[in-house]
Chain A
Amino acid sequence: MNWNQVLLVLKREYITRVRSKGFIWATILVPVGFVAFFGVMVFVTVWESDVAFEIGIKDETGSIVRPLTEMNPGRYINYSNLSVDSLRTMVQQDVITGYMVIDEENIAEDKNLELIYSGSGGMQLLTSIRSDVREVIRQERLQRAEVSEEIQQIYESRISVDSRRLTRTGEETDDDTAFLSIVGMILGIIIFAAIFSYGGYVTRGVIEEKTNRIVEVITSSVKPIELLTGKMAGVGALAITQFSIWIITFFGLTAVAGPVATMVMDQQTAGLGPEAEAAQAELPMPLDLPSLEPSLIVYFVIFFILGYLLYSSLFAAIGAASDSDTDVQQLMLPVGSPIFIAYIIMFHTWQSPDSLLSVVSSVIPFFTPILMVTRIAITEVPFWQISLSIILMILTFAGTMWLSAKIYKVGILNYGNTASYKDLLRWIRQS
């Protein structure tokens, strides 16, 4: 391999792309999108859904409806004096969302309540009604049993668990598992998206050279493997440039935005009393960032690069085997599925990063870039697992590169039709 040629190819790939409008826009818009995303998230946490769902209560016992309406006056309305038929009509006419009939059996005999409703409101409504009713009926039963106040208090106690991490070196640190889980998931999603988009660049670049019919001119000066390497490295350099810009912007923004936002929030909540302050305490995430460990960023970069190399070599082969952009789809399946599978497993890993499934899949090279980063962010991953996954990825990359180089070599000179899997096998054997 002549590295001079590779460097020339790399330079062209990099420079033409970095100057393109698409790149400049993506570089600007993605952080804007991210900010918008967080904005929406804050918005959602602050504004509880204030759509009112009115539930009519027909209380035959007379003791349940009052505590219920006290608990949530907007939601529960006392309709004990109406008949069931008129309640039904009201639901049908959308005057109320639903109704419940409560009689003695529900209190004394553990009989389930029945909510008759129009179906709107979703899970959130059902869950909150369930817990409200449960609470009220329990209170009522406690009262009837005439238990002492002390025991009633026992029932009301809510002990929670605060967690702190003890590191190997004996340091005790604040546990940010909740925050880190979100970080882990975001990093996983970023790698998922990055592999697809930069891999897509490589595929499209290869197809462009084929459809422009310049590839034969190029290969009369450059070996296919040099062209392939230069192309992958060029797009890789582009990815690193783009990510560096984003990471710097991100840290710059959070360094500035954090304090500013807290200041604004402080001023707003100052006059609002303890309730608002409590509400603010519940939305710590985007504004009050626990620090990310530098090692996490290093691992993110390592796995991102390895994942990019592994997949882009395959994406290049797809490009070489296709004749046009539209033909890419059918060949994409075998290459795209592992990324998607990893993406799906990530939602499991996110919740239990140390389960057998998480551990095993995170060392499978095709899943590693997404899953290992998620795990490293959330939990203490043993060093041997990290090293094993890195070694396996490098070995697999050597394999995919070898395979891809063979397909690429034949494929780039194959015009006019998209290769079938049979053709690919033949190409691999032939070269």
Chain B
Amino acid sequence: MISIQVKNLNKLFGKTQAVDNVSFDVYKGRIFGLLGPNGAGKTTTIRMINHIIPLDSGEITINGLTVGPKTQKMIGYMPEERGLYKKMKVGEQLMYLAQLKGLKKPDAKKKIVYWLKRFDAYDWHSKVVGELSKGMSQKIQFIATIVHDPDIYIFDEPFSGLDPINSELLKEIIIELRQNGKTILFSTHRMEQVEQMCDDICLFNNGKVVITGNLRNIKKEFGKNTVLIEFEGDPGFLDELEDVRINNRSTNFAEIRILNGLSHQQILKKAMEKSEIHKFQLVEPSLNEIFISTVGEDNIKNKEALLA
């Protein structure tokens, strides 16, 4: 079943085509990753799904309904630029946000108490948000996002700015939500997070969808043509290789994508001449590699951010 369906979506800001004929489907009960460098159009797309900004053309449906005030209530949204009212008390703030999402007061109260207790934050109920530590207010932010118990969760760059403890906590929340049959869409420019968590992905670049689909299938299509090598000694052999792309290179590690039928045995041979091999593995390409090989290195916006 499709939770979020995006069809031929377009958004123009002045002369910039921020989102260019974008289509993808997010299935119920799965984790969907929206990937791409900064400025690729992820946030704009997410804002349109949340009915925060209007779309120019195309269609977005949430559980079959065209986006609007009604579908907003089906979504729990945590934006990249997030925050809370600093001068409001935690409890009142959560109550306000829950009511805006259409919850009735007694119902909201029960849920707020449940989540505050769940996150060991019940004592903060009457504290003003401005007095909380950063980590504490991040927890309150999670609660604000999920308190109205929606079907669909959208997190825009959820891990940016989180401390490690809350990063872990959020991962747990996301996985738990998925187990309960909820749909999760999150965006990130960090490929490894997607590889760890996502069922399906959609790769963005310059406002366009580059690839979308099931992560495993996408990887399979690219075949096992990537070598992970760990070695000790002279890394000079890496520079002698032709028709390969080397990602993730460090003093004793490299990820080598074979581009043109070069045999991996040849790589091994060359490597052995110069250095001692600790590990040599043939794997599916990383998402990063898939992304680069699809759009071409020159066409990537913010390459540094992507490779970070």
Which residues of A does B touch, CB under 8 Å?
Answer: 2, 5, 8-9, 12, 16, 20, 208-209, 212-214, 216-223, 413, 415, 426, 430-431
Contact = CB atoms under 8 A, between A and B. Distances in A.
Interface of B: 13-14, 47, 50-54, 69, 72-73, 75, 77-79, 81-88, 96-97, 99-101, 144-145
Contact of A426 (B14, B84, B85, B86): B14
A220 B82 contact: no
30 contacts: A5-B100, A8-B99, A12-B96, A16-B88, A208-B85, A208-B86, A209-B85, A212-B84, A212-B85, A213-B79, A213-B81, A214-B82, A214-B85, A217-B78, A217-B82, A217-B84, A217-B97, A217-B145, A218-B97, A218-B100, A219-B52, A220-B50, A220-B51, A220-B79, A221-B97, A221-B100, A221-B101, A413-B47, A413-B52, A430-B13
B14 A217 contact: no
B281 to A, nearest CB: 43
Contacts of B51: 220
Nearest to A415: B81
B83 A222 contact: no
Contacts of A431: 54
B143 to A, nearest CB: 12
A188 B33 CA distance: 59
Given A2-B69, A8-B96, A217-B144, 13 more contacts: A9-B100, A16-B88, A208-B85, A212-B83, A214-B83, A216-B81, A217-B78, A217-B84, A217-B97, A217-B145, A220-B75, A415-B81, A430-B14
Nearest to B87: A16
B106 to A, nearest CB: 16
A212 B100 CA distance: 18
Contacts of A220: 50-52, 72, 75, 77, 79
A297 B134 CA distance: 50
Contacts of A222: 100
Contacts of B53: 413
Contact of A217 (B13, B47, B79, B87): B79
A22 B77 CA distance: 33
Q: Pick the 5 closest A-B CB pairs, nearest first.
A: A213-B83, A221-B100, A216-B79, A220-B77, A212-B83
B185 to A, nearest CB: 13
Contacts of A413: 47, 52-53
Given A219-B52, A221-B72, A213 B82 contact: yes
Nearest to B50: A220
Contacts of A426: 14
B69 to A, nearest CB: 6
A216 B98 CA distance: 15
B126 to A, nearest CB: 13
A260 B111 CA distance: 59
A218 B51 CA distance: 12
A219 B79 CA distance: 10
B72 A216 contact: no
A279 B82 CA distance: 66
Nearest to B86: A212
A431 B12 CA distance: 11
A219 B51 CA distance: 8
Looking at A12, A208, A221, A413, the one whose CB has the most chain B CB atoms below 10 A away is A221
Residue among A9, A213, A426 with the highest chain B CB neighbour number at 10 A: A213
B69 A223 contact: yes
Contacts of B75: 220
Nearest to A2: B69
Contacts of A223: 69
Contacts of A217: 77-79, 82-84, 97, 144-145
Contacts of B99: 8
B86 to A, nearest CB: 6
Contacts of B54: 431
Contacts of A221: 72-73, 97, 100-101
A430 B16 CA distance: 12
